[in-house]
Structure 1
Amino acid sequence: MQDRTIKIGEKYRHFKGNEYLVLYLAKHSETLEDMVVYQKLYGDFGIWVRPLSMFLGKKEVDGKLINRFEEIDNKL
């Protein structure tokens, strides 16, 4: 069960360090699975899509479970 929610228009940091901007939530046309449409904030600024469950999911790194993407707190 997912305890996190996605925020459209917010920046997220991938566990490898790069930053991304969440543009939209979309539905997969065949499965109706929720998908996140997001943009790289570096390099070619490409547009990517990933299942919401994966975007908000955990990843094992060095034996620890961490968030795959973490919202960046832009408040001062």
Structure 2
Amino acid sequence: MQKFRHYKGGIYELVCEATQESDLSPVIVYRSHNGTVWTRPKDVFFEIIELNGVHVPRFAPIEIE
């Protein structure tokens, strides 16, 4: 199970990678701390954004010990 931290602080669990039926684009399926499941385009999920002049990943992987 891979977990990611959103740049705003939330922690999410990667469920799977899938294909959006409407346009066949790749998406990431992920679960929030409260159990809701979300999808986001794969390129947006792994996007590097600029925050206060610093480049950070939108979702950064968290090492599980």
Work out whether 1:17 is the aligned partner of 2:31. no
Work out whether 1:66 is the aligned partner of 2:63. no
Deviation at 1:45, TM superposition (A): 2.2
Query: C-alpha root-mean-square deviation of aligned residues, in Å?
Result: 1.0
- Paired residue for 1:6? none
Work out whether 1:51 is the aligned partner of 2:51. no
Aligned residue pairs total 65
Deviation at 1:46, TM superposition (A): 1.0
| Greater than 2 Å deviation, 4+ residue runs | none
**Paired-residue identity, %:** 29
Q: Which one has more relative contact order, counting CA pairs under 8 Å at least 6 apart? A: 2
Structure 2 Cα separation of the partners of residues 59 and 26 of structure 1: 23
Which amino acid counterpart does residue 2 of structure 2 have in structure 1?
E
- Paired residue for 2:28? 36
Q: TM-score, normalised by structure 1?
A: 0.78
Q: TM-score, normalised by structure 2?
A: 0.90
Give the secondary-structure state (helix, strand or coil) at the position aligned to 1:26. strand
